[in-house]
Structure formats: C-alpha cells, structure tokens
Amino acid sequence: MPHRDRPFSRSLIKLGTRLLLGRAWAHAQDWFPWLSIRQTPQAERAVFYHGARVATLLGSAVLWGAEVDTVTIVGSGPSVALADLTRLERGSAMLLNGAIHLIGECIAAPLAVAIQDERFVFRHFALMRKKIAAGQRLLLSVAALRAICENDSLWLADKRIVLIDDIRKPYELPRRRDGTLRALDFVRLDRSGRYGVSLEPDRGVFEGGSVAVSALQFALAGRPQTIGFIGVDIRNAAGPRFYEHAGTAAFSGVAGAEQRILGHIGLAMSVAETRGTRFVNFSPVSALADIGVGFDDRLLRPTGR
C-alpha cells in the first residue's frame, strides 16, 4: 500500500458507492461492508464488525468529568515546535491526528484524541497502538472506526469512544439538504448554508475540511471559558508537520480547504461569544488570525524554538 493512500480495495469501494448509489448515499463507503452501529437491549450504542461487537459508543459527557477552564485543540502544524505544551492544564488538550506523537512527552494525559480521516489510520496505526492507552477518550468518525477494525478490531475494546457523525452525511441516512439542516434546533448555519455549527455534537457535527472543525464543536459543547488553538496553522499545511522532515511529509488537504475551515471556525467563534467562551490563537503563524482569533503568547518558548 502506498504510504499516502488508503488500500486500493477501499479506493474501489469509494468509487463504486459514488457511481452506484449517487451523491445522496456515497458516504455509505464509510461503513460498507462490515461495520454497523446498533442499539443494544441495554440501550447502549455499540459498534459491530463482521457481526461481532467490538466497542461501545459513549456520549460526549464523558469528556467533561473534570472542570477545565481552557480546552486547547492541538494540531500537527509547524507551530507546535514553537510552543511549550507542558504549560497546558493537565487533561485539557484535544489532540488531532499526528499530535498523538506528543503523548507521553510534553502531554501526559490528553482530554481526547480526535481522528476523522481513515487515511491517517492506515498510515499510522502502529503509532496509534504505541501512543493511545487503554481508557483514552477518542473522537472517531465512522470511517476511522471502520479503518481501525480493518487493522485490528480488538484494539477498540478498552477505549472510551465518542462518535464523530457527519451531520450532512450521517450514518445510515441519506445526505441532508440545507433546508433539513436549518430545521434542526441545535444547528447554526451561516446565510449561505456553507458553514455550520452543531450545539449538540452527539447528534452530529459539521465536518469542515479538517478534524479541527469537528473537535471544536465538541469543545464548544463543554462550555469552557477559553478554547485555544496550537498547530492549527492551515496555510502552511503543504509543508512538513512538526514531526515530519522536508521531503517525507504525507499529503494534506488542509491547505486547499483554508476558506472552508476558516468559515466554520469563524461561525463557531460567533456562536461561542454568545455562550461566554472566547477563542485564542497560540500560534504566531496561524491563518486563524485572518478571522480575528487573537494571538496569545503564553505557550511560546522564550527562545522561539
């Protein structure tokens, strides 16, 4: 399997579902053919793979057992190397994808790990095994769950899993139109309908070009005083991540989705202000400055290294 790609068989399934089922059901590839999510007789939601139960899904309330003043969303952008993340509150960091490299180093116990893209699972499952301990809270998309099961379905059993369900393309439902979304009382859309925020992430979130957008909606639901961002740099996403070297960086679609990402985060910031939560940008190079997320230097290393 090429380092940057999903397995060829999955690419065929992705193409096939799009051609055979059309736009309304193309996202069925996320769970097809062996993954299912069902209600159990005990009123739990459980994940099944090849008919066997492999995990239990929890509500997002599992994230908020302890009060956290500042939730920090930690991406993989180069600005992570400029920050001293030992200054973060314990249990306050939401780590996105490759930011799991930080577990056991400058971040002992993250609040949660969020993985949305199945390609990350296929590239880095060995790293996930190494870094993600039993009991860790995981925010996982349907496609990420299925990709994990394709690697090792038993791995999920001792993790605390919260589902990232795409509100536009939900599990086992057809793609939703803007009118349907506007009718949902927990959804906020901008006038164009392009950008959205879910106030009840257990009922679905807007996936907006980066897992940062999905993680943000879970963070917002916890009503912290502050939501911070580090490593969510966006405009330099074509370059190496903080743990990569020039010439070895895996493909990222984040740079091409800059407008989409900023649109969702900008709307979320407007909603957050009405709920008493402010956004701060811990990265001196992030495109978040373009939408008015103010820079805060509290994590910046004194030497700039």
**Contact residues for 255 (Cβ-Cβ < 8 A; gap 6+):** 234, 235, 236, 237, 238
Backbone angles phi, psi at 111, to 5 degrees: -60, -45
The first and second tokens of residue 170, run together, are: 């939900």
100 touches 113 (CB < 8 A): yes
The architecture (CATH level 2) of 59-291 comes to: Alpha-Beta Complex (3.90)
CA distance 179 to 176: 8
DSSP string, 44-77: -EEEEETTEEEEEE--GGGGGSS--SEEEEE--S
Per-residue pLDDT of the chain (305 residues; tens, 9 = 90+): 344 467 777 888 888 888 888 889 999 989 999 999 999 888 789 999 999 999 999 999 999 987 889 999 999 999 999 999 999 999 999 999 999 999 999 998 999 999 999 999 999 999 999 999 999 999 999 999 999 999 999 999 999 999 999 999 999 999 999 999 999 999 999 999 999 999 999 999 999 999 999 999 999 999 999 999 999 998 765 566 777 655 565 655 666 789 999 999 999 999 999 999 999 999 999 999 999 999 999 999 886 44
The first and second tokens of residue 270, run together, are: 């407007």
Element (H, E) at 221: helix 211-221
CA distance 2 to 28: 24
233 touches 287 (CB < 8 A): yes
Residue 144's SS3 state is helix
